[in-house]
Amino acid sequence: MARTSSPKRVAVTGAALLSPVGNDLDSSWHALLDGRSGVGPITRFDASAQKTSIAAEVKGFSPENYLDKKAVKRFDLFIQYAVAAAKMAMADSGLAVDESLALKVGCAMGCGLGGLATIEANHEVLLSRGPDRVSPFFVPMMIGNMAPGQIAIELGVKGPNLMVSTACAAGTHAVGWAFQQIRDNGYTAMIAGGAEAVITPLAVAGFNALKALSTRNDAPEKASRPFDKDRDGFVIGEGAGVIVLEEWEHAVARGAKIYAEAAGFGASSDAYHMTAPPENGEGAIAAMRAALEDAAICGLAPTDIGYINAHGTSTDLNDLIETVAIKSTFGEHAYKLAVSSTKSMTGHLLGAAGGLEAVISVMALYDGMLPPTINLDEPGPGCDLDYVPNVSRKVKVKAAMSNSFGFGGTNGCLIFKAV
Region for residue 167 given its phi and psi (left: phi exceeds 0; alpha: psi -120 to 50; beta: otherwise): left
Question: Distance (Å, rounded) from C-alpha 98 to C-alpha 309?
Answer: 35
311 is known as an active-site residue: yes
Q: Out of 168, 298, 383, 413, which one is annotated catalytic?
A: 168
Q: Which residues does residue 163 pair with via DSSP β-bridges, in sequence order?
A: 109
- For the question of residue 333 being annotated catalytic, the response is no
Cα separation, 399 vs 259, whole angstroms = 12
Q: What is the gyration radius of the CA atoms in the chain, in angstroms? A: 20
- The C-alpha angle 50, 199, 46, rounded to 5 degrees, equals 45
Side-chain-facing half-sphere of 6: CA atoms under 13 Å: 3
Helix %, strand %, coil % of the chain (to 5): 40, 20, 40
Question: Which one of the listed residues 107, 311, 383, 413 is annotated catalytic?
Answer: 311
Closest among 128, 15, 42 to 359, alpha carbons compared: 15
273 is catalytic: no
| Separation of alpha carbons 409 and 276, rounded Å | 7
Q: Which of 173, 250, 298, 348 is catalytic?
A: 348
Q: d(Cα 360, Cα 84) in Å, to the nearest integer?
A: 18
- β-bridge mates for residue 233, sequence order: none
Query: What single DSSP character describes residue 196?
Result: E
- Whether the Cβ atoms of residue 282 and residue 289 lie closer than 8 Å to each other: no
Catalytic site positions: 168, 311, 348
